[in-house]
């Protein structure tokens, strides 16, 4: 079993970077080369800006290359909760931003000819308990009436046509949802940006950012300093560099994944006949899908823990049990991959993006819904930095620090215990 991301193991290393020292001037410096940073770099370069991207690790090495590869529309939270908070009109606008995110991914795949198996297979949200089905049905009714007619319920009796297990009590289908090989996508975006002149520096953590007297920024890295007219922090969950302000606002939550050996197509036709992107309704959620080479990916929060190889192994064992609970016929399937990553959760599970008082731009906090939203927001932030501030759907959202959170989420085990109890009770 490989303790590494399936996506990163099955994509060629990014070849468009430079090993030259960091120096000189650029219109824009971007911190981080995940989906936010690469999509922003591509859009800014198309606008004619000179762009330098500094990445602490490798292109797509963190969340963007370690996730479930699900590119779904819809909120992280129940639509009805969002409508109660914002009113239908604003909730619908925000919901449409996620639709636009999926459309944007599809458009970029086509325009840049990125070979990443993008397919609109739809998302299936599975009711883990009978009462969850009723809740999903009420949400779907509201969704269809308000904003998303491409949703529908599947009863428990009809579920066999969707997923080969009797573990669930029906589900909600979002037809707009898609899946892709996210490693190929993020590296494809970086390739497209590099072709347009963007300079990528991998293994180059940004260690300091200082405003100069001339209104520009001096960005310090371990490989030199560069002067930037504008800076975009596309740094997600960051444990390096001068980003403490964000660490106090984002909760890093471990999420873990396993992937089986390639399975016979006839077995996949039995267990996942429609190849949907599936998630369940538990607080400690599980999600699963078929990978481009016929493996089953099975992921979830498993434990409220950080991701590192030892932790990933422990979580992988729990995930295998959960997978067998859903699909007992996979008992003999070998597990070929096990990995994890840190999800960038905000308190209300909505992204934050904009410009800080010191002039730095940022976009992050996608709360597990970043494949589409990070790609979308990278593109949007390029527009915002060009003066089109109104395009940012999250522009009016305040972002106070989380009380008692100083960067290391000591409270996660308590939250985990609470959610486990909730899952047992309802
Ligand atoms: C296990 C897991 C499963 C997920 N599943 C899904 C899913 O199926 N669907 C979905 O929509 N979303 C999912 N998500 C969320 C999604 O992956 C993220 O929201 C999205 O990738 C965030 O992209 P990003 O570019 O903002 O951040 P990242 O991909 O984390 O990129 C940020 C980059 O910044 C770099 N960086 C940080 N600090 C510095 C510094 N000081 N200097 C230089 N570089 C720095 C990091 O090395 C990193 O590469 C999942 C996340 C995880 C972890």
What secondary structure does DSSP assign to 73-122, as a single string?
A: -S-SS-HHHHHHHH-HHHHHHHHHHHHHHHHHHHHHHHHTT--S--B---
Please tell me whether residue 289 adopts helix, strand or coil conformation: strand
- C-alpha 85, offset from chain centre: 23
Residue 34 CA, ligand 1 centroid: distance in Å: 6
Percentages helix, strand, coil for the chain (3-state, rounded to 5) are 35, 25, 40
Q: Identify each DSSP E strand in 134-264 by its residue range.
A: 151-154, 171-174, 178-179, 199-201, 206-211, 217-221, 224-233, 251-260
Atom number of ligand 1 nearest to Cα 59: 49
Q: What are the per-10-residue average pLDDT scores of the chain (426 residues)?
A: 96 96 98 98 98 98 97 93 96 98 98 98 97 97 97 96 96 98 98 98 97 96 97 94 91 92 97 97 92 97 73 89 97 97 91 96 96 98 97 94 71 59 59
Q: Which residue is associated with the tokens 């002067």?
A: 227
Ligand 1 center to 62 CA (angstroms): 5
Dihedral sign (CA 347, 174, 353, 56): positive
Give the separation between CA 329 and CA 296, rounded to whole angstroms.
12
pLDDT at 308: 81
Tell me if 171 sits within 8 A of 162, measured CB to CB.
Answer: yes
pLDDT at residue 314 in the model: 87
Distance CA 52, CA 201 (A): 8
Look at domain 6-415 and name its CATH class. alpha beta
Contact assessment for residue 220 and residue 206, using Cβ atoms and an 8 Å cutoff: yes
Query: What's the sign of the alpha-carbon dihedral 64, 70, 73, 76?
Result: negative
| Chain Cα centroid distance, residue 175 | 19
Find out whether 277 and 74 touch, Cβ atoms under 8 Å.
Answer: no
- Ligand 1 nearest atom to the CA of residue 342, by list position: 53
pLDDT of 403 reads: 76
54 in ligand 1 pocket by Cβ < 6 Å?
yes
What pLDDT is recorded for position 365?
A: 96
Query: pTM, whole model, 2 decimals?
Result: 0.95
Q: Quick check: CB of 255 below 6 Å from ligand 1?
A: yes
DSSP string over 141-161: HHHHHHT-SSEEEE-TGGGGG
* Residue of the CA atom closest to atom 33 of ligand 1: 32
Closest C-alpha residue for ligand 1 atom 15: 368
CA distance 72 to 150: 13
The pair of structure tokens assigned to 375 is 């790609």
Cα-to-centroid distance, 256 and ligand 1 (Å) = 14
Cα(398) to ligand 1 centroid in Å equals 22
Query: Which residue's CA is the closest to the ligand 1 atom numbered 50?
Result: 67
- Ligand 1 near 37 CB (within 6 A): yes
Ligand 1 near 344 CB (within 6 A) = yes
Which pLDDT does position 421 carry in this prediction? Answer: 58
In whole angstroms, give the CA distance from residue 134 to residue 229.
53
Phi, psi of 147 (to 5 degrees): -150, -25
Per DSSP, what are the bridge partners of residue 231? 29
pLDDT score for 283: 80
What is the structure's pLDDT at 391? Answer: 97
Answer yes or no: is the C-beta of 236 below 6 A from any ligand 1 atom.
Answer: yes
Residue nearest to atom 18 of ligand 1 (CA): 370
Q: What is the pLDDT of residue 44?
A: 98
Task: Identify which of 37, 235, 344, 346 to mutate to test ligand 1's pocket (most ligand atoms within 8 A of the CB).
Answer: 235
**Mutual angle of helices 88-111 and 79-86, in 10-degree steps:** 120
Position in ligand 1 atom list of the atom nearest CA 339: 1
What pLDDT sits at residue 420? 60
Per domain, the residue ranges of the chain are 6-415
Q: From the CA of 338, how far away is ligand 1's center (Å)? A: 18
């Amino acid at each position: 079993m490989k303790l590494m991301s399936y996506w990163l193991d099955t994509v060629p290393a990014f070849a468009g970077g430079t090993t030259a020292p960091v120096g000189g001037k650029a219109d824009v410096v971007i911190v981080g080369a995940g989906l936010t940073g690469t999509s922003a770099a591509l859009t800014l370069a198309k606008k004619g800006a000179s762009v330098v991207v500094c990445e602490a690790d490798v292109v797509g090495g963190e969340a963007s290359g370690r996730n479930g590869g699900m590119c779904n529309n819809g909120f992280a939270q129940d639509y009805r909760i969002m409508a109660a908070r914002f009113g239908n009109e604003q909730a619908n606008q925000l919901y449409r931003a996620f639709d636009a995110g999926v459309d944007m991914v599809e458009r970029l795949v086509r325009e840049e000819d990125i070979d990443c198996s993008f397919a609109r297979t739809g998302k299936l949200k599975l009711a883990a308990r009978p009462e969850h089905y009723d809740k999903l049905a009420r949400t779907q009714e509201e969704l269809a009436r308000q904003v998303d007619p491409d949703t529908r319920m599947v009863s428990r009796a009809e579920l066999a046509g969707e997923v080969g297990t009797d573990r669930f009590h029906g589900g909600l289908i979002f037809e707009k949802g898609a899946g892709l090989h996210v490693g190929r996508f993020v590296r494809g975006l970086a390739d497209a940006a590099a072709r347009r002149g963007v300079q990528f520096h991998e293994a180059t953590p940004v260690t300091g950012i200082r405003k100069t007297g001339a209104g520009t920024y001096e960005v310090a890295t371990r490989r030199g300093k560069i002067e930037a007219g504008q800076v975009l922090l596309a740094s997600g969950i960051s444990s390096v560099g001068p980003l403490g302000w964000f660490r106090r606002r984002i909760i890093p939550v471990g999420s873990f994944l396993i992937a089986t050996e390639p399975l016979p197509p006839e077995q996949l036709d039995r267990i996942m006949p429609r190849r949907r992107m599936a998630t369940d309704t538990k607080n400690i959620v599980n999600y699963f899908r078929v990978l481009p080479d016929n493996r089953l990916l099975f992921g979830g929060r498993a434990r409220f823990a950080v991701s590192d190889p030892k932790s990933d192994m422990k979580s992988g064992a729990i995930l295998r049990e959960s997978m067998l609970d859903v699909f007992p016929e996979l008992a003999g399937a070998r597990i070929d991959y096990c990995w994890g990553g840190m999800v960038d959760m905000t308190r209300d599970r909505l992204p934050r993006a904009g410009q800080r008082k010191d002039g730095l731009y940022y976009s992050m906090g996608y709360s597990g819904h970043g494949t589409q939203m990070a790609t979308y927001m990278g593109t949007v932030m390029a527009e915002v930095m060009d003066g089109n501030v109104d395009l940012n759907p999250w522009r009016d959202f305040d972002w106070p620090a989380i009380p008692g959170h100083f960067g290391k989420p000591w409270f996660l085990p308590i939250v985990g215990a609470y959610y486990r109890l909730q899952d047992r009770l309802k």
